[in-house]
Structure 1
Amino acid sequence: MEKSEDSSARTFMELMRVPVQFYRSIGEDIYAHRSTNPLKSLLLKIYLYAGFINFNLLVIGELVFFYNSIQDFDTIRLAIAVAPCIGFSLVADFKQFAMVRGKKTLILLLDDLEDMHPKTLEKQQQYKLSDFEKIMKRVINIFTFLCLAYTTTFSFYPAIKASVKFNFLGYDTFDRNFGFLIWFPFDATSSNLIYWIMYWDIAHGAYLAGIAFLCADLLLVVVITQICMHFNYISMRLEEHPCRPEEDKENIEFLIGIIRYHDKCLKLCEHVNDLYSFSLLLNFLMASMQICFIAFQVTESTIEVIIIYCIFLMTSMVQVFLVCYYGDSLIAASLKVGDAAYNQKWFQCSKSYCSMLKLLIMRSQKPASIRPPTFPPISLVTYMKVISMSYQFFALLRTTYSDN
């Protein structure tokens, strides 16, 4: 009889499964350094680079379309429509670039987390791994659904709509439209063959952008979940330690182990910042503009466009909330260590023990956090600021457009 999921120990690779598999679907292999098949690794790398070359050519087409559209007030609406897609594409591009640039840091971070991962079922119960995993899975499922729903809707809606009209509603012509507004140096709708080649080319580019955008955040969710779990375990161990006065040597050995453990977790947080700081800065700046432009499209378009852009709006808002939520969780989990240390029966211990404990409490007062350059540590307060900034841009855009 098979063991249920709750009665078997979870490996670190099982927790990493979703981002790893999605990354591999675009040719990015996070664990390429462990591969025993060099040919497979080479083919994946070629597929990844070819995909990003194609994707960036499409982004250039979007930028040209945007530039052409802002030249005339009559086409400014088209520029506003393509702007969120450009923002999404640039963030996806920069996230992938950050992952490639920080590959050594990423490998070191994941190897350390795997080494620290509780291996036995008994240990995992002490760490409350199942509770952290349940929340993580829900977050991953919701965000993955929204992100893939956005790219799928934009990619395939025009073809589905045209097919229904042509095959079932008796229209004489098949409308050759694309889901994204892109400039081509040739007529991409001149024949069925060229149209469908370009259509699937754009669909692949959209999928690659969606996965690059999605997986960087899924990786962040898995990593921060693990680090929060370790901070929580440190807090539990500190609070539950009996501090028996007659066991001073054992008390000091215990505290030395906890301090080393705590220091290791703080170093992991620095690795996260090395990987994500600049990409998150661009992410938040672009998110404000994206939400603004998407909201404008929702208030100024037809029902079918509103539905499509509502999915995009939800994806953008959930993505920003997700990063801010986990940033807030990391701050709370690291601050909890100091509270747990103070709640011990430290007054029963020796002066040496109390001095060491004091240093641990002092260090925990500066919480671990995700810190983009020039931004304060990311928390739910950051989310409110991004939404507020987006609304201000939106109000300015509406006023400017209405006056003209």
Structure 2
Amino acid sequence: MRYMAAYDLMETMRNTNQWLGASALSMASYPVFSMVPNPALQWMAAWGEVTERTFKRMTAKPDWGIRTFTCADGKDHLVHIETVVEKPFGNLIHFRIPGRKPSPRKVLLVAPMSGHYATLLRSTVKSLLVDCEVYITDWHNARDIPVSAGKFDVEDYTLYLVDFMRHMGPDTHVIAVCQPAPLTLAATAYLAEEDPKAQPRSLTLIGGPIDPDATPTDVTDFGARVTMGQLQETMIQRVGFKYPGVGRKVYPGLLQLSSFISMNGDRHAKAFMDQIARTARGEASDHDAHNRFYDEYLAVMDMTAEFYLSTVERIFKNCEIAKNEFTVNGRHVDIGKITSVAVKTVEGAKDDISAPGQCIAALKLCTGLPDSMKASHVEPDAGHYGIFAGKSWRNNIRPLVLRFIDANSPAPMPKVKPANKNAAAK
């Protein structure tokens, strides 16, 4: 499984299915068939259209799609997406709004690198742009990074975050979503020892596996069921000849996608059958709810083998963050050294990926932080996606996070729309 042939075989299967879909659509849409209307041809064309789009999206990086923004002056302003720090494995980008006075709330949004692009947080970014100056980590697809760029594991990831925080300065408020929560906590602790003046003012951890053993789920318990040898043999492949990263060992995004889909296979199968039916009836559109969701969900990226394996071994198997035993370049990163950065955790009561209890474990690790600078919130009836991009985020969690940011800012901030009460954010 570790050879280019296996990677190219998966790409060939994807490409073939895309071609079959395009062929079915073209054949069933042939004008001469209109002389003899046949419902079977309508279904064939619909199947082809949905199939082609499905397999085509798997190798396309989604666009941010954030082009204009209505500011307080009532005018629509263009949104410029600018790269402010460029690195081989990921950039720091800024959503700049010309003509709008820079917001005093400067937010670094740390996006997950777990198979999807940072655009998975598109709705999160759009909701924060209203009140904040938003920066985000934009991780690169490992298949596009030449082998000459070297390795990238959890320690490198942590040092990337350290560099991004240093660049943004001490008035930054960091929000880490899901997978990067443990490493963002480690990066903050690293700065607490190495460069205290560069520490952010606050750190909000949303649905992250700080302590995977606190409340195990099928996802976080995966590391306990397999050996590292099994993972290397079955999950790691070398990038094929089609991409610039040819020869690089990766955990392919297509494998990750198959894992995602298998978790809710029946639901996804029904969603695609329903979409084919809608397409056959002429009720589907290019940007309908199905296509908006799956255009993002199906767009996957490869992770470097060393990042994937070190995440499983050090974060999930050995629980180095949970035990406060994490090291970077041989030096212990003591989370207890965080003494001046306010920390808030957010969890969803129905999160089946990072269940309640996993993220709040961060507060126990911050032994050097007074209780007055710790906060937590569990959102009732919210699942994993809802706590950072769904209705729960928009209506409840986002206002609470902004309140927490304001409470830990040096100057008075603009008022935020009221939300449900949360003593931790006072």
TM-score, length of structure 2 as denominator length: 0.26
Higher relative contact order (CA 8 A, sep 6+): 1
TM-score, length of structure 1 as denominator length: 0.27
Q: Which has the higher strand share?
A: 2
Larger Cα-atom Rg: 1
